[in-house]
């Protein structure tokens, strides 16, 4: 189905789009309506991108954010990797630990969960989107394989963060004396992971624009 190009379509869901207009990553809970809401948000951002004079904040958001279906009940907006990389290249702020902070944007205040990541980059990007924060960050139903977990471990260790893993749940926690030595390491290996069909997720991560 082709997106509408009517600004009236966008105006109908303006309240839903407010966090994106303010430059915030966000999650929407819509019982059994995630697919429909994701489509409407992407459509609205598409319209905004073609009407930047009328909707400058949302036109910017269309370039910055990727709209993802987490499961049938939840939709989230996360920063596009390309936007993060470009801003880094311009020298826009990093914190002391190497975490990227987007200039002029409000980052998520409270750490929250990202469901069913399968790549180290997804975990890292979500962590970056939530900075500044001391965590912890949790990732239930994770399906990272050994190679991806090792990438995550090396990345976290370089930033003085700890990786915990048990029963398909990953947790990133700021290094503390109490927890040091209890974290997951590549030497621990992985326990049996859920099969893909057990996750029962309907993910659709096409960009809005």
Query: What would the pLDDT profile of 35-82 be if each residue is shown by its tens digit?
Result: 888 889 999 999 999 999 999 999 999 988 888 888 887 888 888 754
Domain assignment present for 94: no
Q: Are 76 and 24 in contact (CB under 8 A)?
A: no
pTM (predicted TM-score): 0.45
Range of the domain at 149: 104-202
Residue 108 and residue 169 in one domain:
yes
- Using a pLDDT cut of 90, give the percent of the chain over it: 24
Q: 24 vs 18, 31, 78, 108, 184, CA distance in Å?
A: 9, 22, 9, 7, 31
Q: Render pLDDT for 124-174 as a digit per residue (tens, 0 to 9).
A: 988 887 777 776 788 888 889 999 999 999 999 998 888 888 778 888 888
Residue 127 and residue 56 in one domain:
no
């Amino acid at each position: 189905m082709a997106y509408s190009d009517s600004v009236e379509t966008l105006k109908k869901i303006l309240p839903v789009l407010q966090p994106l207009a303010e430059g915030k990553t966000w999650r929407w809970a819509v019982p059994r309506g995630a697919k429909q809401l994701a489509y409407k948000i992407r459509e609205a951002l598409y319209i905004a991108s073609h009407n930047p004079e009328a909707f400058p904040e949302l036109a910017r958001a269309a370039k910055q954010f990727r709209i993802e279906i987490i499961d049938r009940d939840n939709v989230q907006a996360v920063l596009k990797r390309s936007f993060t990389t470009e801003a880094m290249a311009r020298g826009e702020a990093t914190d002391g630990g190497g975490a990227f902070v987007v200039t002029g944007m409000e980052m998520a205040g409270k750490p929250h969960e990202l469901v069913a990541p399968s790549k180290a980059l997804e975990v890292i990007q979500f962590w970056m989107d939530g900075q500044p924060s001391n965590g912890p960050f949790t990732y239930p139903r994770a399906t990272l394989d050994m190679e991806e977990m090792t990438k995550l471990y090396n990345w976290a260790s370089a930033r003085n963060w700890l990786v915990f893993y048990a029963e398909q749940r990953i947790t990133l926690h700021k290094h503390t004396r109490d927890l040091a030595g209890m974290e997951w390491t590549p030497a621990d290996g992985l326990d049996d992971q859920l099969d893909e069909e057990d996750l029962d997720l309907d993910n659709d991560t096409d960009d809005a624009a």
